[in-house]
Structure 1
């Protein structure tokens, strides 16, 4: 399988993903997995503009992303999967995609969220999904940029339970 990294980031493709992670990991394709973004021409156009030159972009539903990965369509590429919320990754796992690790990078603050770290904010449903990912054997880490040390995410999450 060609999945090099996975990242939850509410901003999807932006400076950290486009420049730091893509360069550090020598990514050849960024896959955005989001059932809503797939239907938004404006969001898709913005993501295309933010994707670094020479890097391919796929914007897919959870189902289509899982099907393409399982069919081996990206086996010769270095794939970074990015999604806004953890439920997208749970969907991939439930469709049979073997994810070893998910990096929880940035989840935006809103009136409904509780702060886990300065850049990670969750609602109860996110906590449930993280617990389910963990139960399915997915290692959850928090790492903003490649130069930071990856920290186990669940102990951070325990602060807001």
Structure 2
């Protein structure tokens, strides 16, 4: 299997993921990895509606996503993984899923978050998980859309 990209986006599948990123990366499958959403039929229906025509969709809990990836279930496909939080990717990596780059796109602002960029807002736990991912050799890039310049998220975190 070719994991063509992994992205953190609190909105999961929406215009940027469905149109810009999926087209740019020429994906054949979008894999949403989220324990809660995988159990919510209404949210899953919304994600199906937002998925571009001709692109397959998987909505899986972390454990099943890792198991399927490692078993080679998607070996002939170009897979784009999308998750809401960095912790999901740490769990995938700890389960053995090889990821070398994660695109941090959109993490929405709440009363508990602090702003790193216009679109990336974090809590302390997110920062600690980003540090763990960085220590595991994962390059964390901040990039909202394909035409935006790529920025090193760890440098942005140090500056914030």
Long gaps (5+) in structure 2? none
Counterparts in 2 of 1:8-27, with a 5 A limit?
A: 8-27=8-27
Q: CA separation in 2, counterparts of 1:116 and 1:149?
A: 16
Q: CA separation in 2, counterparts of 1:108 and 1:159?
A: 19
CA offsets 1:60-97 (integer angstroms, 9 cap, x no match)? 01110001110111111000000000000000000001
Q: CA separation in 2, counterparts of 1:50 and 1:112?
A: 29
Counterparts in 2 of 1:1-161, with a 5 A limit?
A: 1-160=1-160
Q: CA separation in 2, counterparts of 1:66 and 1:149?
A: 30
Return the TM-score normalized by structure 1: 0.98
Q: CA separation in 1, counterparts of 2:61 and 2:136?
A: 21
Q: Which runs of 4 or more aligned residues in structure 1 lie more than 2 Å from their structure 2 counterparts after TM superposition?
A: none
Q: CA deviation at 1:105?
A: 0.2
Could you say what the CA RMSD is over the residues aligned between the two structures, in angstroms? 0.7
- Tell me the secondary structure at the aligned position of residue 65 of structure 1: helix
Would you say how many aligned residue pairs link Structure 1 and Structure 2? 160
Q: CA separation in 1, counterparts of 2:85 and 2:42?
A: 20
Q: CA separation in 1, counterparts of 2:9 and 2:159?
A: 20
- Tell me the secondary structure at the aligned position of residue 7 of structure 2: strand
Q: CA deviation at 1:41?
A: 1.1
- Tell me the secondary structure at the aligned position of residue 4 of structure 2: strand
